[in-house]
Each structure stands twice: as C-alpha cells, then as structure tokens.
Copies of this chain bind each other. A is one copy, B any other.
Amino acid sequence: MNTVSERSFRKLIRILLLALVWISLLGSAQARIDPLPSWNDGASKRAIIEFVRNVTKVRGPYFVPIAQRIATFDNDGTLWSEQPIYFQFAFALDRVKALAPQHPEWKTEQPFKAVLEGDTKNLMASGEKGLVELLMATHTGMTTDEFTRTVTDWLLTAKHPTRKRFYTDLVYQPMLELLAYLRQNGFKTFIVSGGTVEFIRTFAEKVYGVPPEQVIGTSFVTQFQVGSNGVPELMREPKIEFIDDGPGKPVGIQRFIGRRPIFAFGNSDGDQQMLEWTAAGGGVTFMGLVRHTDAEREWAYDRESRIGKLDTALDEAAARKWVVVDMKADWKVIYPK
C-alpha cells in the first residue's frame, strides 16, 4: 500500500461505496428477471425458487453455507432424453458396426450378429449378459484418451433416429436453466449417473457446465502402464468396477463428494436411494423427479417402461411430498432451439 496516500485511499473508499450502491441497484433489477424462463409458473417452479431463496438467505433459519450447497443430478431421462434406447447404448451399437471389419467372428456370434443384422428380437433375447458383452467390446480395450476421442467424434456426427438431431441437442432446456440457476446461487452441481463416467465427461462441461471432476458414474477398471513408446497410459480393462445405480448412487456420492447433497434430481427408480440419502441429511433439502408425460414433444412413460422405469420412486415421492415435475405441464419448451 506504499504507493497509496491517505487522501487517495479515502477517495477509493468513496468510489467503492458508490459502486456498491449501484451493484445493489442492478442486483434488485436482476432479481426481477426470471431465472427459469422455460418453466411454467406452477408448484414445481415455486418449490425450486423457494428452496434456493431459503438456503441462500444469509440470516434466515434455513441458510446453508456455500461449501455445503451440493446438488446432484441423474443424467439419462433427467438432463437429456433416454428413448427409444439409452444414448450410450446407441453409441455401443454404432461402435459394433464401425469395428465389425476388424471382427469377422461377429458375423456369427451373438449378440454382435443381431446388432449387425439389425435383428432387435435376438438382440433383446441376449438380455443383460448380451448388453454387458456389447459394452465391454466397445468401451474397453483402449486407453482412456482413445475412448474419449471416439465418443467425442461420435457425438459430433451421430443423430437420433427419430428426432434427427445431435444427441447433445436432446438435453432439457429447463434443466440447463436449473443447473445455471443453482450455480449462480453458490451450488456445486454434480452428475450422478448409471451411465459410464467417461462417456458423460466428454460433453458434460460444454453442454451442462459440469466439469469432469463433478461427474460420477458407472466405471470400468483401468490399469496404469507404460506404453512401448515409454509414455504412460491408462488402459480400460473389460471389467466393471462400480455400478452407479440404485443403492450405488449414495455410495458413489460418498466416495466422490464425501458429503451429502441438499438437492437431488432424478427420474426413475434408479434414483430413489439418491433421493432418500439426500432427504435423510436433515435440514432443508430438495428432492425432485422428472416425470415423462409428454408423448408429443418428448416421450410418455413411467411404471411400465423398460427404460427409465418410474414406479416405486413415484409412490415414495407422493408419500413424502417430493417434487414431481410434470414435463408436459411444467415445461414451456423441452429442448434448446
């Protein structure tokens, strides 16, 4: 401070005070701007805004310090669509086709044969065992860097079969606004997905504003090794390490974040334990579910769906007064323009 005289210092203080007045004026102007413009006015939107006001009100009874403002979101069906098949599964099928020339044996081996012939019936018949085989063949056996490149390339070229848009365009505009609104209010936003973590990390920062270190997901064992060129690399092994679904979600949250969320959003029974874990934290908490009710603009499914089944969690939400977002009624738009 040796270059700053006392008189100048007083002047600085005066200027800063004036600036503060202006900033607070601008602030109250901004508060009148709707933070969730794609949400219709209704109970869901009001519940979100009331929750955020409560935990951010400095001397209020529900104030939560910034470091503890942890919000967790499921991905498939909560932040982007998941029909007619999980987008990551669409990636796996495309990879089987791309890799087929290097695997002549796939022409006769299930479930690969079914994928190559577009034979949905036999593909379905291969069940969970077949699904895991497809995942292993397309998601492992390469370095982490190679896998990231493959996914990045796919997302830049592949399009959804019926919507004819890039998969990363099929994210929910209202949820993008919610993520941003929470971050503006000091929240750290995390993704906690049953999908595999390195798949989501390739686009989460750009699309959701969620950096890789805030993405938790199902993962494969990786192995550190030094390549033939002397360069260290991480190989993805054909072995599942952690399934981040159902009861795995609180486990993943504890493992990665080490503290309990106060805000959690999902859309299916696989998110139920994450919401229960959040609710049990005490203090003021928010639990939300996206319910797919819009057959026209998106899809409509819940209790009977093979993908994104929402059954027991819907009952628990009703019993415990968790917020259930009715996509058709609550959202003005579904996807970004």
Q: Are A250's CB and B232's CB within 8 A?
A: yes
Q: Which of A229-276 contact B (CB under 8 A)?
A: 231-232, 234, 247-248, 250-251, 254-259, 273, 276
Whether the Cβ atoms of B259 and A213 lie closer than 8 Å is yes
Measured between beta carbons, the chain B residues less than 8 angstroms from A232 are 250, 273, 276-277, 280
The verdict on A29 contacting B3 (CB below 8 Å), with A224-B251, A258-B198, A276-B232 known, is yes
A22 lies within 8 A of B29 (CB): no
Give the interface segment out of A13-21, A90-98, A305-313.
A13-21
Asked whether any CB of chain B lies closer than 8 Å to the CB of A151, the reply is no
Binds B, one of A39-47, A154-162, A215-223: A215-223
Q: Which of B144, B188, B250, B257 contacts A254 (CB 8 A)?
A: B144
Contacts of A198 in B (CB 8 A): 258
Are B223's CB and A251's CB within 8 A?
Answer: yes
Task: Report which residue of A144, A213, A247, A257 has the largest number of chain B beta carbons within 10 angstroms of its beta carbon.
Answer: A213
**Contact status of A4 and B19, CB under 8 A, knowing A67-B211, A234-B250, A251-B222:** no
User: For residues 137 through 174 of chain A, which have their beta carbon under 8 Å from a beta carbon of chain B?
Assistant: 144
CB-nearest residue of chain B relative to A198?
B258
Q: Are A234 and B211 in contact (CB under 8 A)?
A: no
State the CA gap A67–B70 with chains docked (Å).
19
A119 in the interface (beta carbon within 8 A): no
Residues of B within 8 A of A223 (CB): 247, 251
A201 within 8 A of B: yes
What residues on B are CB-neighbors of A18 within 8 Å?
15
A232 to chain B, nearest CB (A): 5
Residue in B29, B234, B259 whose CB lies within 8 Å of A212: B259
A250 adjacent to B277 (CB under 8 Å): no
Instruction: Report the separation of the CA atoms of residues A16 and B18 in the bound assembly, to the nearest whole angstrom.
Output: 9
Cβ–Cβ < 8 Å partners of A273 in chain B: 224, 232
CB-contact partner of A67 in B205, B224, B258, under 8 A: B205
Q: Give the contacting residue for A247; candidates B1, B29, B224; CB below 8 A.
A: B224
Contact A213 B257 (CB under 8 A): yes
- The reply to whether B255 and A222 form a contact with Cβ atoms under 8 Å apart is yes
Render A1-33 as a binary contact track against B, CB cut-off 8 A, 1 for contact. Answer: 111100000001001101100100110010000
| A256, B12: Cβ atoms closer than 8 Å | no
Contacts of A67 in B (CB 8 A): 205, 211
Distance between Cα atoms of A215 and B4 in the complex (Å): 41
The one of B4, B226, B276 in contact with A29, judged by C-beta atoms closer than 8 angstroms, is B4
Chain B residues within an 8 Å CB radius of A257: 212-213
A11 CB, min distance to chain B CBs, angstroms: 8
Nearest-neighbor residue (CB-CB) of A226 within chain B? B276
Cβ-neighbour of A277 out of B15, B19, B224, B259 (below 8 A): B224
- A-B pairs, 3 with minimum CB distance: A212-B258, A224-B247, A213-B257
